[in-house]
Amino acid sequence: MEDGSVSYGFKNIFITMFATFFFFKLLIKVFLALLTHFYIVKGNRKEAARIAEEIFGEISDCWADRSPLHEAAAQGRLLALKTLIAQGVNVNLVTINRVSSLHEACLGGHVACAKALLENGAHVNGVTVHGATPLFNACCSGSAACVNVLLEFGAKAQLEVHLASPIHEAVKRGNRECMEILLANNVNIDQEVPHLGTPLYVACTYQRLDCVKKLLELGANVNHGQWLDTPLHAAAKQNSVEIIHLLIDYGANLKCRNAQGQSALDLAAPKSSVEQALLLREDSFPLLVIIKYCGITAIQPTCSFPAVPPVCPEVLGSQLSQDHPQTIPAGPIGKIPAIPVVSTIYRKILGNK
């Protein structure tokens, strides 16, 4: 019995010592992490990098604060960058936030520096602590040249949803050329990122009209946005009348409701131009949908219209502009009013022939 008590006592002492040691080590790590944060806030990043090495262990040739190579890449100083590489500086040095020189070159839109780094073995798909890749940074800066170079060296155009999405960033900033390059490289045009939605939804949220037009032309789903919110909901929130008309022309469903049970009309400000536009187009006939499915050179009316020959869209748009100037903007293809009006216009055009 006595031996059992002694054994039990030693066991408790051992467990207590182990727990104390573990707690003490954890306390030191927390203290060092707080000290690192303090140095970063104070601007002493070199000391922060040194302390971070203590926390995470020695990582030879891969850990650095903002190095001269980072500075050269960020400022687009190609000669200085090549000199540093020739001296044996590791092109994959990263900062505390895992930012590489390639990230910096792409963020600045310095394509020559980016290419030099890639030719010397820079990681084309390196990820920062915030989930950003060099391709994301290139889309952020709007550098189509950097985007092309990165893709040439094997950059992933379509990334996992937990990483920062290049196409969404390109659309958000209105960098249409970058967006088109990514779509040409098989990026999903309707990729939905949980906190952003689809590229079309982002374009409507940030009122990037050029991107909205191009995405719709390339076949983006006009009713796919962020979960139950559609691009039309986003346009209504942002008071974008022109985008509202464009979305409806491509067949946007005005009756779609979001998670709160609201339609786009419910989100429009009372007596605003957006509310008027939505009310006007509630029972409208989407002309561009007809064009898309019936051909660019001729429109054959459908629904309950009597059989009539095809009509050139330019002629139809012109006639509509004359008869309904208050609802039809200038241009060969206008915004279509209610179906009975379209039927009347068709008859008028055919009657003049």
Q: Could you tell me the end-to-end alpha-carbon distance of the chain, in angstroms, rounded to an integer?
A: 116
**Check: CATH 3.40.50.10860 for 50-187?**
no
pLDDT value, residue 135: 97
The total number of residues shown for the chain amounts to 353
Residue 63 C-alpha from the chain's centroid: 30
pLDDT tens, position by position, 150-173: 999 999 998 887 888 999 999 999
Q: Could you check whether 50-187 and 211-282 share the same CATH topology?
A: yes
DSSP state, 164? Answer: P
The 3-state DSSP class for residue 100 equals: strand
Quick count: other Cβ atoms within 10 Å of Cβ 182? 26
> For the chain, what are the domain ranges?
50-187, 211-282, 286-353
Angle of helix 111-119 versus helix 144-152 axis, rounded to 10: 10
- Share the mean pLDDT of the chain: 78
How far is 278 from 243, CA to CA, in rounded Å?
A: 11
- The amino acid that residue 145 corresponds to is A
The dotted CATH code for 211-282 is 1.25.40.20
pLDDT tens, position by position, 51-83: 555 555 444 344 456 899 999 999 999 999 999
Taking the alpha carbons of 338, 254, 288, 205 in that order, is the dihedral positive or negative? positive
pLDDT tens, position by position, 182-224: 999 999 999 999 889 999 999 999 999 999 999 999 999 999 9
How far is 287 from 281, CA to CA, in rounded Å?
A: 12
Whether the Cβ atoms of residue 312 and residue 345 lie closer than 8 Å to each other:
no
